[in-house]
Structure 1
Amino acid sequence: MRWEELDQQPCSLARTLAVIGDKWTLLVLRDCFLGVRRFDEFEKRLGITRHLLAGRLKKLVEHGVLAKVAYQQRPLREEYRLTPKGLDLHPTILTLVSWGDRYMADERGAPVLHLHKGCGQIMKPVVVCSECAEPVTARDVRVQAGAGWTVPGVLPLAVRGGTD
């Protein structure tokens, strides 16, 4: 499988990685969730070249993850805002951050804390079943081929055994 062909794979993760699967794109998304909207601010915070940043932002706009919105007319100046599709990535980003807090933080602990606005408490993301609201781990899930599975005669790996 070639990196440039990920979007053609019969796998939602591969197709997702084709859009958001490089380090700069994930850091751009992180900054979006922290309130960064303008090109120069992304460039300053990330230390990324203008060329690389422009490419990452263009791809996120093309895929509907971000939208360019004018904040000034003369001269025209635009900023990048998360779309509903982009906002749907928040649980993914939050889960990656939580993993990093657990396994990559130093002895001082997490560099950023996430507080739930509803109760005011420091929170960690939890994956739950959409049907029964029970917490879900890797061992609680099995997969089966869906309507979008297009590899005849080959079953998704977990159908054959999973994480056990």
Structure 2
Amino acid sequence: MAHGDMAGQSLAWTDPNCPVARAVDVIGDRWSLLIVRDAMDGARSFTDFQQRTGIARNILADRLRKLAAHGLIAQVEAPSGKRRVYTLTAAGKDLFPVIVTLRQWGERHAFEAGEAHSVLVDEHGAVVPQIVPVAADGLSLTSDTTSVRRRT
């Protein structure tokens, strides 16, 4: 949402000039990211999200409304036509690299050595390789080799 208007509420951006701050304002809480993760993994109904996350119904309803207001999910008719289900929009699907990067960071830093955890695999069963930002010339980028250019 270009103007920060969410279902009639004005959203005060944490830092109106920073794309990271704006993104965190929209999807930065734990539940929103887990809902997006589960939608990417096939969750479609309110019950699906509640069972997968263990989130309280009122918090889930609030986060689904927020994600819909920001254009990350939408409600569509279920194939059966008996109810509506949630689906990721193009903007929601654009979060895939963010979810993968968070997952990979978690694999490296949130588990003890040898501790069991799930892994992300491609359609052939191969573990998804580490995501590494690269420059136009193909060289790896890090926080040491990049800087933020402020626009006035």
Q: Shorter chain as normaliser: what TM range?
A: 0.7 to 0.9
Higher helix share: 1
- The match for 2:88 among 76, 79, 82 is 82
Flag structure 1 segments of 5+ consecutive residues without an equivalent. Answer: 150-164
Equivalent positions of 1:21-36 (< 5 A) are: 21-36=28-43
Does the aligned pair in 2 maintain the 1:6–1:17 contact within 8 Å? Answer: no
Equivalent positions of 1:94-113 (< 5 A) are: 94-109=100-115, 111-113=117-119
- Once residues 74 and 56 of structure 2 are traced to their aligned partners in structure 1, the CA distance between those partners, rounded to angstroms, is 21
- Once residues 78 and 108 of structure 1 are traced to their aligned partners in structure 2, the CA distance between those partners, rounded to angstroms, is 42
- The match for 1:121 among 126, 135, 145 is 126
- State the Cα distance separating 1:7 from its structure 2 match: 5.7
- State the Cα distance separating 1:51 from its structure 2 match: 0.9
- Once residues 82 and 7 of structure 1 are traced to their aligned partners in structure 2, the CA distance between those partners, rounded to angstroms, is 25
Does the aligned pair in 2 maintain the 1:126–1:135 contact within 8 Å? Answer: no
Flag structure 2 segments of 5+ consecutive residues without an equivalent. Answer: 1-10
- The match for 2:70 among 49, 52, 63 is 63
Larger radius of gyration: 1
- With normalisation by structure 1, the TM-score equals 0.76
Q: Percent identity?
A: 35
The count of residues paired between Structure 1 and Structure 2 equals 141
Does the aligned pair in 2 maintain the 1:101–1:110 contact within 8 Å? Answer: no
